[in-house]
Amino acid sequence: MTIIKATPSDVAPIPAGCAGPTVPEDKGYLVEEIRGGVYWVSDGVFQAMFLTTGDGVIACDAPPTIGRNYLNAISDVTDEPVTHVIYSHSHSDHIGAAHLFPESVTYVASAETARTLARVDDARRPVPAVTFSDSFRLNVGRQTLLLEDKGPDHEPGNIYIYAPEQKILMKIDVICPGWVPFKDLSHVKDMPGYLKAHDDVLTYDFDVLVAGHVARLGAREDVEVQREYVMDLKAHATEAIETVDISRVFEESGVADPSRPGAGNPWLLFDVYLQTVADQCTQAMLPKWVERLGGADVFTFDHALVVTVQVVARVS
């Protein structure tokens, strides 16, 4: 068995479609208006979004890698104070700088995210005062945002943030425009919900996607391409499970040999089997994807292993 896994010495070239705008070195952040008073700010790895309303700024997420530069980015384009902060979900890599905003701001999130934050008790992520279970319309000045919780995907409470007038959608940690998802499908918590989220995103009338990661904004095509990638993963993992002979894997790998260390260790046996299935899935995936999405050679095996376990368990 040869596991296909990129190393720094043999990593594949990055496809041209991965590139985003250059982040000014002297600032360490990029801020640009998308349209209609909706801006995005990025450090080249993380992204957030904010809106000027005439009555204050609505900030959506607060990644700590951007940190105080988020406040600088806002002050670059407006004198309006930040009045509202929306959490996409609870993870600190996206909202861990929320404490930098004035104490007077109103924090808004799904009820699920509020429950999580109350449990972890992290001063960097103030518990939101305004929560909702299904949907919430936020109107501030001239801007309107529709917030929706359609159920667990990347994690429970990971919401859709939609600016209907501008046709801009913010959905974090599901789509990675131009790239495969982060390791282990972005550490997915609910596989069926994660797969469904690709369809749910496409129900919105949007043409710009703020996805939370990587160097550029997304478009509908990026969602369609990644949906194809994850459905390919599921199909190839299912096929591999149906065709890989578990007893033959044990025999050829030698892990079932009673004279060898670890003989009789069921976790070792099944780990070898799952990795064999994931490897077959990866070998089927890479010829199609390594030149289409950045990082396919880096993370596809991890993705295949996650999906393999989920399919074996009949979770997805």
pLDDT digits (tens, 9 = 90+) for 114-156: 999 999 999 999 999 999 999 999 999 999 999 999 999 999 9
Please tell me which residue, 303 or 264, carries the higher pLDDT value: 303
* Separation CA 188–CA 172 (nearest Å): 12
* pLDDT tens for each residue of 70-129: 999 999 999 999 999 999 999 999 999 999 999 999 999 999 999 999 999 999 999 999
Residue 46 shares a structural domain with residue 129? yes
Residue 197 shares a structural domain with residue 84? yes
Over the chain, what is the mean pLDDT? Answer: 93
Query: Which residue type occupies 285?
Result: M
67 belongs to a structural domain: yes
Place of tokens 């896994």: 5
Instruction: Supply the pLDDT for residue 41.
Output: 98
Instruction: Supply the pLDDT for residue 1.
Output: 37
Question: What secondary structure letter does DSSP report for 164?
Answer: T
Instruction: Supply the pLDDT for residue 275.
Output: 92
Residue 262 shares a structural domain with residue 114? no
Instruction: Supply the pLDDT for residue 248.
Output: 83
- Owning domain of residue 293: 231-312
How large a percentage of the chain has pLDDT more than 90? Answer: 84
Pairing of strands 47-52, 38-42: antiparallel
Residue 226: HSE in the Cβ half-sphere, 13 Å Cα cutoff: 30
| 252 CB neighbour count, 10 Å cutoff | 13
93 belongs to a structural domain: yes
